[in-house]
Structure 1
Amino acid sequence: MNNIPIILLAAGASRRMGQPKQLLPWGEQTLIEHQVNILLTTGHPVVVVLGSCAEGIIPKLKDLPIKFTMNENWEKGMGTSIAAGIKFVEQLYPNCKGVLITLIDQPLVTTTHLNKLSETFEPEKQEIIVSQSESGWQGVPVLFDRCYFDELSKLNGKQGAKTVFRYYSQHVNAIQCGDILEDMDTPEQYNALKNN
């Protein structure tokens, strides 16, 4: 279903990591290249939201078939990146049926899981398809019907996508995905995942 763009949120400063997560080595490439290449295998359009350290990240993306946008307010938190991404998607893909939001620091997320989210989604039914870990945690990657775009585009500060899908919990459909939602905020978490 190519009318569901994917937004990769990659604007943060990675303060606890002590260096830009986006540029950390992951296999033979940087983390952001790894993430973008996974997203591209779905066949969906990919939009990357950049902010901190963008001048060092853009050269890694310039040869990839993606679009990127700058979040000038990235220091105010993830909500501003979601809002920037949604507004950009609405300009680029005005006829899209929904949007899939993913994070830079979940390197274990697979093409299979992303495809399952989009294959489960039924447009125009107010659906929100969330990922659920084996421990019961629910969150990103998450797919929103376009009826939520207005609210997503108004997020600010540290409000994330969870703010919206908790409010509309009756429309949430959770897709199980085992232990692939592990994220990494510290060097210890990064090393643990990289050596997994």
Structure 2
Amino acid sequence: MKKSDLTSNSAALPNQNSSQQSSHTIILLASGLSRRLGEAKQLLYKNGVPLINHMLQLAVSTNPQVIIVVIPKNEASIASEVAKLSDTHLHIKTVINQTPETGMGHSLYTAIEALTYFVSNKNFNDKNSNHKTVERVLIMGVDQILLDLEHANELLAGKHLVVASAYEPWQLLDTLSKDDHIERGADANHESTNLIVGLPLVIDYQLLKQWQLHISGDKGLRHLIRALSPSEIRTVFNKQLSYDIDTPEQLAYARQQGWVDK
């Protein structure tokens, strides 16, 4: 990784308590080019703030040790929004994806490389350090507009190697009810269902580093997750996660529902 690809904002948001160090870190994947949407989804507004800032605020609320946020190159507006989140307690590391057209796999590979670099240089595993050992990583996308802190905390509460979200494809949905936020048991393959098993998810840090070599281009974690045994993965079902923003039609529907600002 080039030094020019990694910038550091000593950043963070309210309600952070440095005396209560967690054992998790966060990767926020936000380097998509939004080609099908036709505009940068990172800069859509939700509750009066750009979506990327909304997701960073949610990430910060889990009190991680560090957040690695990956953004595309040559996107000054996105970089500027991330830079606005400044303070002196939580470290937000902004990683520039120099080839965002390659796909999410490359974005994740770049994030893992940056996280490993940061952890090794901050001596997280030193007994004399103020940091706890990094044990798990919460990986998030930027466009699951109904993701909330409750779900993130459910993922972080799990003890399996991987605790992943499960949800239905957008086209299967016709209604949304808060009562549909339910938990299901572990099922690594989901061969008999239409469920998507994926982001956001929490993964063991050492396992994520092992999997890095198997991630490239648009090939992310899904094929690796499917190979896990049922004892190694837990899924948390949340119908709200089905609503992401990839097309103008999906954006129009989200605005109609009031999930994204008009």
**Under a length normalisation based on structure 1, what TM-score does the superposition of the two structures give?**
0.89
Report the residue type matching 2:109 in the other structure: A
SS in 2 for 1:130: strand
Is structure 2 residue 78 aligned with structure 1 residue 57?
Answer: yes
Contact 1:82 1:152 in 2 (8 A): no
- Report the counterpart of residue 35 of structure 1 in structure 2: 55
- Report the counterpart of residue 177 of structure 2 in structure 1: none
The CA deviation at 1:121 is 2.8
Would the alpha carbon gap of residues 53 and 23 (structure 1) be closer, same or farther in structure 2, given more than 3 Å must change? farther
SS in 1 for 2:241: coil
Is structure 2 residue 249 aligned with structure 1 residue 188?
Answer: yes
Looking at structure 2, the residues matched to 173 and 25 of structure 1 have their Cα atoms a distance apart, in angstroms, of 32
| Match among 222, 233, 238 for residue 172 of structure 1 | 233
| Bigger Rg over Cα | 2
- Report the counterpart of residue 45 of structure 2 in structure 1: 25
1:126-169 superposed Cα distances (whole Å, 9 cap, x missing partner): x1110112663211101111232234422111112212211224
Report the residue type matching 1:128 in the other structure: V
Report sequence identity in percent. 29
| Match among 74, 99, 102 for residue 76 of structure 1 | 102
| Match among 47, 64, 86 for residue 112 of structure 2 | 86
Looking at structure 2, the residues matched to 89 and 37 of structure 1 have their Cα atoms a distance apart, in angstroms, of 19
The CA deviation at 1:87 is 1.1
The CA deviation at 1:78 is 0.6
| Match among 218, 221, 225 for residue 161 of structure 1 | 221
The CA deviation at 1:119 is 1.2
SS in 1 for 2:81: helix
Q: Could you tell which deviates more after superposition, 146-155 or 84-93? A: 146-155
Contact 1:133 1:178 in 2 (8 A): yes
The CA deviation at 1:92 is 1.7
Which blocks of at least 5 consecutive residues in structure 1 are unaligned?
none
Report the residue type matching 1:194 in the other structure: R
Looking at structure 1, the residues matched to 229 and 102 of structure 2 have their Cα atoms a distance apart, in angstroms, of 26
Would the alpha carbon gap of residues 71 and 169 (structure 1) be closer, same or farther in structure 2, given more than 3 Å must change? farther
Report the residue type matching 1:4 in the other structure: H
Contact 2:147 2:240 in 1 (8 A): no
**Under a length normalisation based on structure 2, what TM-score does the superposition of the two structures give?**
0.68
CA RMSD of aligned residues (A): 1.9
- Report the counterpart of residue 3 of structure 2 in structure 1: none
Contact 2:25 2:138 in 1 (8 A): yes
Looking at structure 1, the residues matched to 119 and 150 of structure 2 have their Cα atoms a distance apart, in angstroms, of 24
Contact 2:73 2:99 in 1 (8 A): no
